[in-house]
Amino acid sequence: MYKLFLTVRYLTRRLLAIVAVLALALSVTALVLAPSIMNGFQIEFHKRVRGTLSDLTVSSPQPFGLEQSPALEARLAALPNVVAVAPFLENPALDKHLRKIDYCFLRGVDPRQEAKVSRLAEYLISEREAYLTVNRYERRKDSKVPEERDFAARIKARAEQFPDAVDPEEVYGWLERGHPDRPDLPTCVVGVYFLDAWDLLPGDTVTLTTASPAGEINEDREFLIVGALRTGFSENDRRSVVLSIPTFQAFAQVQGRVSGYSLKLADFEQAAETKQAVLQAFFAGALDADVSRLQVQTWEERNQTLLRAVAMEKALIRIITFCIVIAATASILLVMFMSVHTKVRELGILRAIGGTRRGVLSLFVGQGFAIAGLGMAVGLGAGMFLSVYINEVATQVEKVTGWHPFPKDIYYLDRIPSVISWPENAQNFVVVLTLGSLAAFVPGFLAAFRPPLKAIRHD
């Protein structure tokens, strides 16, 4: 009982112990908050990347290296675990407007089939949303500059003249058959940041140039923009230009050719088995002599570099925050050394009247455990609170300082994603308590094994 009494007494009488608790609490808050935000970013990133791709993709190393075959599509669709199949073409191109030239990526699709293997229909946005994005309404409406807020209000009022909904079937029809207002022009759908970069809107035109399989540069062709996409993946929304397959084939002079096929799977866990079945279907058809060079990849394999980079960034953040915790835990070591130094005589008397070495050691280890436990509890509570209300906190910070910790135009997210991992926090709790106890063990050991008479004579 005396051990508990002395542990509480020593803790309540030392300002350094309170400082150690606060330092550890702040570090644990960072240890909880930073991984929670990175978990959210990782999940959101995976969701957006996967939404732009099908579960499985079969492609040729050459841009238009496969024959378009309805018989092959039917064979692929009949495979076990395959829900839908859609052909596609891909090729880089130059996009031109006025005197500016940039690069983009053309993707030819059958829009209705593509909607079955990806989230094409979900990504189409209305003309009103495209107009507000191009004019940066979201950024300007909360500006600290009154004139910019007034301009945002005028943008909002003018946006009312644009349709606030989009009909995917209507857009698909325009891609396939052309727009009734400009039947002389081929049509395309572009990413919303493509519009923003060129200051365009649906209904405007853009000039595109691509190369034929022989490497010859085709003649510039003017395209009518009939829709906009917002995938949430900045590179796609800036560089993607979607055409119908016949339009792309005529433009690139590759009639009857495609770049590959996208497949939607019933069970993604069986992707490895499905890949083998897909290869067998291609070899059975003997469509091309170069079929042995086919690339059959899942969406994860096609983006493994990006996914690995995000995972490495998450691991790096966790390592950094954990190093901060270790540094904060060192404050417990300092507090215990100071406690031992100031209570040498008291500990000598305690040993002289019958206190055991084990009892003295447990006295200091108990203090370290208590400081670590209290700091962990406070830090865990603060970290979880900030993880849940991070967007509200960021809004208040912006109101007071004019600076937003996670700008939407940089991170391309409407809200800061945050996902609390309970297993990680449980692991953190155990590790911090262990570190706290170990930090107190060394000074506790020195105090326990100091000779009682020498301790009593200490000056």
Answer yes or no: do 218 and 338 share one domain. no
Q: What is the pLDDT of residue 289?
A: 42
Range of 264-273, 285-294, 371-380, 393-402 with top mean pLDDT: 264-273
- 319 and 235 within one domain: no
pLDDT reading at 264 higher than 60? yes
SS3 call for 107 = strand
Neighbours of 267 (CB within 10 A): 12
Over its C-alpha atoms, the chain yields an Rg (Å, rounded) of 32
Residues 388 and 323 placed together within one structural domain of the fold: yes
pLDDT at 442: 67
Q: Which of 182-186, 187-191, 436-440 shows the lowest per-residue confidence on average (mean pLDDT)?
A: 436-440
Last-in-domain residue among 232, 264, 296: 264
pLDDT value for 419: 86
Same domain, 434 and 361: yes
Q: For 202-232, how does the pLDDT look when each residue is reduced to its tens digit (9 = 90+)?
A: 999 999 998 877 666 677 899 999 999 998 7
pLDDT score for 44: 77
CB half-sphere exposure, 323, CA atoms < 13 A: 5
φ and ψ of 426, to 5 deg: -65, -40
Among 223, 298, 236, 305, which residue's Cα sits nearest to residue 268?
298
The answer to whether residue 139 sits within a structural domain is no
Tell whether 68 and 20 lie within a shared domain.
Answer: no
Residue 318 within a domain: yes
Residues 119 and 225 in one domain: yes
Residue 269 counted as domain residue:
no
Q: Are residues 219 and 335 in the same domain?
A: no
Asked if 121 and 109 count as a contact pair (C-beta separation under 8 A), the reply is: no
147 found inside a domain: no
Domain identity same for 424 and 366: yes
Q: Report the pLDDT averaged over residues 242-266.
A: 92
Q: Check: CB of residue 172 under 8 Å from CB of residue 111.
A: yes
Would you say residue 78 lies in a domain? no
> Does residue 355 register a pLDDT over 80?
no
Are 429 and 353 in the same domain? yes
How many other CB atoms are there within 10 angstroms of residue 99's CB atom? 5
CA nearest neighbour of 406 among 425, 422, 423, 392: 392
Q: Helix, strand, or coil here: 61?
A: coil
Output the average pLDDT for the chain.
81
- Taking the mean position of all CA atoms in its chain, how far away is CA 189? 25
Of 245, 264, 283, which one is at a domain's C-terminal end?
264
Number of domains within the chain = 2
Average pLDDT score over residue span 192-204: 92
Q: How far is CA 230 from the centre of its chain?
A: 16
**So what's the pLDDT on residue 457?**
53
The pTM of this model reads 0.72
Shared domain check, 216 and 326 = no
311 and 415 belong to one structural domain = yes
Per the domain annotation, does 182 fall within a domain? yes
Residue 276 lies in a domain: no
Indicate the residue among 264, 296, 322 that finishes a domain: 264
Range of the domain at 351: 2-47+306-456
Asked if 222 and 250 sit in the same domain, the reply is: yes
Residue 149 lies in a domain: no
Q: What does the pLDDT read at residue 126?
A: 95
